[in-house]
A and B are shown apart, each in its own frame.
Chain A
């Protein structure tokens, strides 16, 4: 089967149970109708919620969610490129002839990689140091710090400044490096914004209410046409529209571990490999 039959990452798992409840409701109405309660046939209920309003609200909700997903991806794109650029500057721009200076340089490179790793952990609500090899953090204690990436950015800035004061980095290089660091922090903040600000409650709650009303009123509109097929039709229709809502819910916060979330683990592994390769090359530079 192709993508059409794929359950992993699809909204079927979440949507089907709800759709089945509405199907059951449709069955109950069909039963009443068959028993002779013909007043349950109320085709006028289709005006309850203008299709246009519901449709546009629903689609808008999904598109906003996608916009957030894409914003999150772009923010991570910048984190990746800023980490690479700053890594290169740290490795090549800083003149570190003595071995003690080289140790500090290695430490700074590790902290740089840890920025991305702690950002990932922070966005997932996991402990700051989860899955981070100890050499990346050195003697940094992150457990009691509310936003570990910011702390690491401060450390890196202090390192850059000390290299500048020590004459190992010129002022123009310092300015570029600090700007790259600004980019890292800016995109950490962007991810935080996406994660911390879901769609306004008024919007998401009223949309759910509209969906509920729409689905509950469906059987009354179609029972005279479909008779015993009513439950199936109702379940199918509610499956489609609840599915569209579910997409929005799934991609709204893209930093988790679901099949629909961004592949942060592989992005971070890639960055870690690159930084480690840089560190191995340091003595040769």
Chain B
């Protein structure tokens, strides 16, 4: 074997640690609900032990076909994951377009006068402003005040007044590119590629908006919750005869497993928030800014 033993023990320890870790797990949300199920189970078993043997109703097992519940549940979680991953890809594509567009503006736009350099730097910072405003928009938060470090006060006020700040910033960038083309600091091919990258930015804004604005249809989400509740509450009647006082704990455990699977979906279906299970958008925007600063620090292209 080529595997050193300490490596193995580290990875095993990590496995066990993760199995019991709370941060990012669904335990905090799921545990109270499953305890309610458990309490109901205890109540049923108490009544059963008091002589209410008519509470033993194994027929309730056919209320909800296991197959139907299982497929609905897993489908719900997988759809939620698809949204999460699509959101991540959209952000990957935004990062990409920002990197490529920044490089092209920096390298391709010809600096004719001394005022051209600051204008170019401003255009690069607009790219970061675009990403940050998309982030704020998806979180339904107002523009963050740190943006003033990247744009002028008047631009900031302008952004606060418009309906959709990201689109406004995209418009500024497009306008800048067109202007550079008109004064012949950019050739037609370069203008074309740059505008395509700008389109890519706006397209991916659209993808994120779609994910944000279209949750899984309510009919689906609600009916699944109803099925889960019915399933969990019908359990004690099926098992009380065999399990007696163990009915409560077993019901709680089953509730935990099933409600947990549903909770995963709830946590990841809107990936743009601030939970431990959401995308690290703040970090992504931070990295973007650092890339731009690195680019600006790079010695200017020789004319």
User: Chain A interface (Cβ within 8 Å of chain B)?
Assistant: 7-8, 13-14, 17-18, 42, 44-45, 47-50, 52-53, 56-57, 60, 64, 145-147, 150-151, 153-155, 157-158, 160-162, 165, 171-172, 174-175, 178-179, 181-182, 185-186, 189-190, 192-193, 196-197, 200-206, 208-213, 259
- The answer on a CB contact under 8 Å between B187 and A203 is no
Q: How far is the CB of B45 from chain A (nearest CB, A)?
A: 13
- The answer on a CB contact under 8 Å between A44 and B279 is no
The 4 lowest CB-CB distance pairs between A and B, nearest first, are A201-B24, A175-B189, A52-B70, A208-B19
Chain A residue with the shortest CB-CB distance to B302: A162
Chain A residue with the shortest CB-CB distance to B68: A52
- The answer on a CB contact under 8 Å between A202 and B253 is no
- The answer on a CB contact under 8 Å between B239 and A44 is yes
CA distance A45 to B24 in the complex (A): 28
Instruction: Judge whether B291 is part of the interface by a CB distance below 8 angstroms.
Output: yes
Prevailing SS type, chain A contact patch: helix
- The answer on a CB contact under 8 Å between A209 and B19 is yes
Q: How far is the CB of B117 from chain A (nearest CB, A)?
A: 15
Determine the chain A residues whose CB is within 8 A of the CB of B70 once the complex forms. 50, 52-53, 56
Chain B residue with the shortest CB-CB distance to A187: B96
14 contacts between A and B (CB under 8 A): A18-B15, A42-B243, A44-B243, A47-B254, A49-B257, A50-B258, A53-B73, A150-B99, A174-B187, A178-B104, A181-B100, A186-B100, A200-B268, A202-B267
Chain A residue with the shortest CB-CB distance to B264: A202
- The answer on a CB contact under 8 Å between A200 and B264 is yes
Q: How far is the CB of B196 from chain A (nearest CB, A)?
A: 9
CA distance A259 to B267 in the complex (A): 34
Chain B residue with the shortest CB-CB distance to A165: B303
Chain A residue with the shortest CB-CB distance to B98: A189
- Given the interface pairs A7-B1, A13-B1, A53-B74, the reply to whether A200 lies near B295 with Cβ below 8 Å is no
- The answer on a CB contact under 8 Å between B189 and A57 is no
The interface stretch among B84-92, B173-181, B213-221 is B84-92
Contact with A along B12-31 (1 / 0, CB 8 A): 10010011010111110000
Q: How far is the CB of B120 from chain A (nearest CB, A)?
A: 13
Candidates A50, A146, A171, A179; contact of B294 at CB < 8 Å: A146
- The answer on a CB contact under 8 Å between B290 and A146 is yes
- Given the interface pairs A151-B294, A193-B88, A200-B264, the reply to whether A205 lies near B81 with Cβ below 8 Å is no
Q: How far is the CB of A76 from chain B (nearest CB, A)?
A: 16
Determine the chain A residues whose CB is within 8 A of the CB of B107 once the complex forms. 154, 157-158, 160-161
- Given the interface pairs A48-B250, A50-B69, A202-B263, the reply to whether A153 lies near B103 with Cβ below 8 Å is yes
CA distance A153 to B103 in the complex (A): 8
- The answer on a CB contact under 8 Å between B277 and A60 is no
CA distance A208 to B19 in the complex (A): 5
Determine the chain B residues whose CB is within 8 A of the CB of A160 once the complex forms. 107
Chain A residue with the shortest CB-CB distance to B254: A48
Contact with A along B205-245 (1 / 0, CB 8 A): 00000000000000000000000000000010001001100
CA distance A145 to B298 in the complex (A): 11
CA distance A178 to B191 in the complex (A): 12
Determine the chain B residues whose CB is within 8 A of the CB of A179 once the complex forms. 193
Candidates B12, B19, B71, B189; contact of A212 at CB < 8 Å: B19
- Given the interface pairs A53-B261, A197-B88, A208-B19, the reply to whether A151 lies near B12 with Cβ below 8 Å is no
CA distance A109 to B293 in the complex (A): 26
Determine the chain B residues whose CB is within 8 A of the CB of A197 once the complex forms. 88, 279
Instruction: Judge whether B50 is part of the interface by a CB distance below 8 angstroms.
Output: no
- The answer on a CB contact under 8 Å between A145 and B260 is no
- The answer on a CB contact under 8 Å between B67 and A52 is yes
Determine the chain B residues whose CB is within 8 A of the CB of A185 once the complex forms. 96, 99-100, 103
- The answer on a CB contact under 8 Å between B25 and A205 is yes
- Beyond A60-B81, A206-B260, 15 additional contacts (C-beta under 8 Å) are A53-B74, A146-B290, A147-B291, A158-B298, A162-B301, A165-B303, A174-B187, A178-B190, A185-B99, A201-B23, A202-B24, A202-B267, A205-B19, A206-B263, A212-B19
- The answer on a CB contact under 8 Å between A200 and B267 is yes
- The answer on a CB contact under 8 Å between B26 and A57 is no
- The answer on a CB contact under 8 Å between A14 and B189 is no
Q: How far is the CB of B4 from chain A (nearest CB, A)?
A: 11
- The answer on a CB contact under 8 Å between B104 and A52 is no
- Given the interface pairs A48-B254, A60-B78, A200-B277, the reply to whether A157 lies near B19 with Cβ below 8 Å is no
Determine the chain B residues whose CB is within 8 A of the CB of A47 once the complex forms. 235, 239, 254
